[in-house]
Chains A and B, each alone.
Chain A
Amino acid sequence: EVQLVESGGGLVQPGGSLRLSCAASGFTFSSYAMSWVRQAPGKGLDWVSGISGSGGSTKYADSVKGRFTISRDNSKNTLYLQMNSLRAEDTAVYYCAKDNLIAVAGTLHYWGQGTLVTVSS
């Protein structure tokens, strides 16, 4: 059974940093790309970033480019999102999601339950 468990969310001040983690199990982690998708309170879904199965290819939404870094440790079956220079508009539930291919392709078959990031002073 595929399981994705996010952690690392919390309250952070504007300009601060946070690192999210997503622990994966139930599949061969290195064989699939992964993405982060966020959802602001009461709003829709917003794709943030994706990474290939090897970690060699990363993609970002313009809104986070230069501030967020996606990475993965295939030996630990864990996906990360390093978030720097956080803004109020980054406040959201952050989901990790499993793609259906080794490259970042965009069909997100499995999702974690999400972790809430709140950026506020």
Chain B
Amino acid sequence: DIQMTQSPSSLSASVGDRVTITCQASQDISNYLNWYQQKPGKAPKLLISDASNLETGVPSRFSGSGSGTDFTFTISSLQPEDIATYYCQQYDNLPFTFGPGTKVDIK
């Protein structure tokens, strides 16, 4: 199975700050990488597919980049409503696997 790692596991930032999360795959997954946001008590929501494709309706402050084994997720200006846990997920190989998550909160 492809192992996904994320760092940091949690972070605290101020409103307006730039936030960056990294995700690493245990082998080359090309750009077969998604990012999901999960707010407390809610289902996950797809934000970015194919490593960098912003889903319809998702604010442009969210972005993703990378290919191969190393990926980055960025919130350009953190907003209070962005408090959530963010997961990367590879879909290059079955079983689909998720990173352990990065919990983001407001300082």
Residues of A within 8 A of B (CB): 35, 37, 44-47, 50, 59-62, 95, 100, 104-114
| Chain A residues with CB under 8 A of B100 | 44
B46 beta carbon closer than 8 Å to chain A: yes
The answer to whether B98 and A44 have CB atoms under 8 Å apart is yes
Residues of B within 8 A of A (CB): 1, 32, 34, 36, 38, 42-46, 49-50, 55, 87, 89-91, 94-101
Q: Helix, strand, loop or mixed for chain A's interface?
A: strand
The answer to whether A111 and B94 have CB atoms under 8 Å apart is no
The answer to whether B98 and A107 have CB atoms under 8 Å apart is no
The answer to whether A106 and B46 have CB atoms under 8 Å apart is no
| Chain A residues with CB under 8 A of B95 | 47, 59-62
5 tightest CB-CB pairs across the interface, nearest first? A106-B91, A111-B43, A47-B96, A45-B98, A106-B96
Bound Cα distance from A89 to B90, whole angstroms: 23
- Look across to chain B and name the residue whose beta carbon is closest to the beta carbon of A111: B43
The answer to whether B44 and A95 have CB atoms under 8 Å apart is yes
